[in-house]
Amino acid sequence: MNTCAQTLMPSLPVQAPAPAAAVRHLPGDLAIWVFIFAELLVFGVFFITYAFARSNNVELFNAEQLALDRTSGAVNTVLLLTSSFLVVRAVQFAQAGESRRAAPWLAGAFACGGGFVVVKLFEYAEKIAAGVSLSSSTFHMFYLSLTFFHFMHVILGMVILVAMWNGARNGRYGPDNMNGIETGAAYWHMVDLVWLILFPLIYVMR
């Protein structure tokens, strides 16, 4: 049945009228959105679990939360927001056909990510020296697990930024080839978004 129809070549090409610009283009590839969804799902589950654990240990969580370094957390928030802005600018340049001009903006985003990593490492060093570990308390377990899991995503994101920077430098991106840069940008924004939830949830909210 279907196979018959497929093997017969129509003598006149029949084309459906192209839909107007009403069809919005999903930046990046569908597969990356599957992964972004999966990532958000995992973080979401982690956050919900945190909330659940907290509801059983409110006093402990509140007390130990006070010992967290909110200043470095705030600095990190600024760094990630800035880097996301820089990535947006880079994507705009690529869209405008100026791939090579996007490169320095991506480098800037990478630098902000690097700043995040440095701040985080100092924060961890201080906490570990103070005796915080995965087994020292439930709050500490969540604090370390969630921030470390996110931290690893930042590092992975930085690797992706390097790949994007390289592609931009080589003039690979343009209005008809935005897939790679948009996909990478989507991933970085996701990493940023997760931090925007994580920081208030773990460091601030009481």
Q: Give the closest residue to 116 by CA, choosing from 147, 160, 162.
A: 147
CA angle (30 as vertex; 109, 18 as ends), nearest 5: 115
Closest distance to another protein from the beta carbon of 15 (Å): 20
* Residue among 74 and 159 whose Cβ is closer to another protein: 159
Query: Exposed (0-12), middle (13-18) or buried (19+): which is 167, by Cβ within 10 Å?
Result: buried
* Residue among 35 and 85 whose Cβ is closer to another protein: 35
CA angle (183 as vertex; 177, 186 as ends), nearest 5: 135
Q: Candidates 25-33, 78-86, 104-112, 192-200: pick the segment binding another protein (CB under 8 A).
A: 25-33
Residue 121 C-alpha from the chain's centroid: 19
Q: How many residues of this chain interact with another protein, rule: CB under 8 A?
A: 28
CB atoms within 10 A of CB 19: 7
Q: Candidates 15-23, 31-39, 80-88, 112-120: pick the segment binding another protein (CB under 8 A).
A: 31-39
* Residue among 77 and 164 whose Cβ is closer to another protein: 164
Q: What mask, x for binding another protein by CB under 8 A, covers residues 111 to 150?
A: ----------------------xxx-----xx--x---x-
Q: Candidates 79-87, 96-104, 152-160, 193-201: pick the segment binding another protein (CB under 8 A).
A: 152-160
Q: Does 166 bind another protein (CB under 8 A)?
A: no
* Residue among 20 and 30 whose Cβ is closer to another protein: 30
Q: Does 71 bind another protein (CB under 8 A)?
A: no
Which residue among 33, 35, 85, 124 contacts another protein (CB under 8 A)? Answer: 35
Give contact residues for another protein (rule: CB under 8 A). Answer: 3, 6, 29-32, 34-35, 38, 41-42, 45-46, 49, 53, 133-135, 141-142, 145, 149, 152, 156, 159, 179-180, 183
